């Protein structure tokens, strides 16, 4: 019998974007846009992506790493206030093993020259999963990608 355990932590990340608030918010809300930046590892093979961004909606994303491990993300949107905030709960799995469950809140505010985004994730790592900072690192990489996406020159060809 495996030992059951929970390890709680909170991750807070504040980012500033040189882009209008609506552009940053929509990068989360519009499936075609989110697919372009929501990844933390180049070279991983996309398997499934679905986004229904609304209160009561859901999201799923499955990718395979180079070694064939399937990383699965499944979210449910609890509260969505256009251009202000959204709150969602999600779990992460490696193959068939649930490694964490989280509640995340993202707040947006206009500021001179762009948008301030504040991300807070309350996460519980399950049954001895040793994160060793990889969640924070992966989230930071994703937000780096978001910055590149929203600050890109729309007139420049991709």
Read off the pLDDT of residues 104-114 as tens digits, 9 standing for 90 and up: 999 999 999 99
User: Which residues, listed in sequence order, are joined to residue 79 by a DSSP beta bridge?
Assistant: 87
Pairing of strands 58-64, 45-51: antiparallel
Q: Which domains are present in the chain? A: 6-150 (3.30.530.20)
Q: What percentage of the chain reaches a pLDDT higher than 70?
A: 95
Q: Which SS3 state, helix, strand or coil, does residue 148 take?
A: helix
Read off the pLDDT of residues 22-43 as tens digits, 9 standing for 90 and up: 999 999 999 999 998 987 677 7
Contact 39, 144 (CB under 8 A): no
Q: Does residue 121 carry a pLDDT above 50? A: yes
Residues 6+ apart with CB under 8 A from 50: 31, 58, 59, 60, 61
């Amino acid at each position: 019998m495996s030992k059951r355990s929970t390890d709680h932590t909170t991750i807070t990340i504040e980012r500033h974007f040189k882009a209008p608030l609506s552009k940053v918010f929509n990068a989360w809300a519009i499936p075609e846009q989110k697919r372009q930046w929501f990844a933390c590892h180049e070279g991983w093979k996309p398997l499934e992506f679905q986004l229904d961004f609304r209160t009561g909606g859901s999201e799923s994303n499955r990718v395979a790493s180079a070694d064939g491990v399937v990383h699965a993300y499944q979210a449910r949107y609890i509260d969505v206030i256009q251009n202000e905030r959204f709150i969602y709960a999600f779990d992460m799995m490696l193959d068939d093993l649930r490694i964490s469950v989280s509640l995340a809140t993202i707040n947006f505010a206009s500021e001179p020259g762009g948008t301030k985004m504040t991300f807070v994730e309350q996460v519980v790592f399950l049954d001895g999963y040793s994160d060793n900072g990889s969640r924070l690192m992966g989230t930071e990489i994703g937000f780096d990608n978001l910055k590149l996406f929203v600050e890109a020159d729309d007139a420049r060809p991709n």
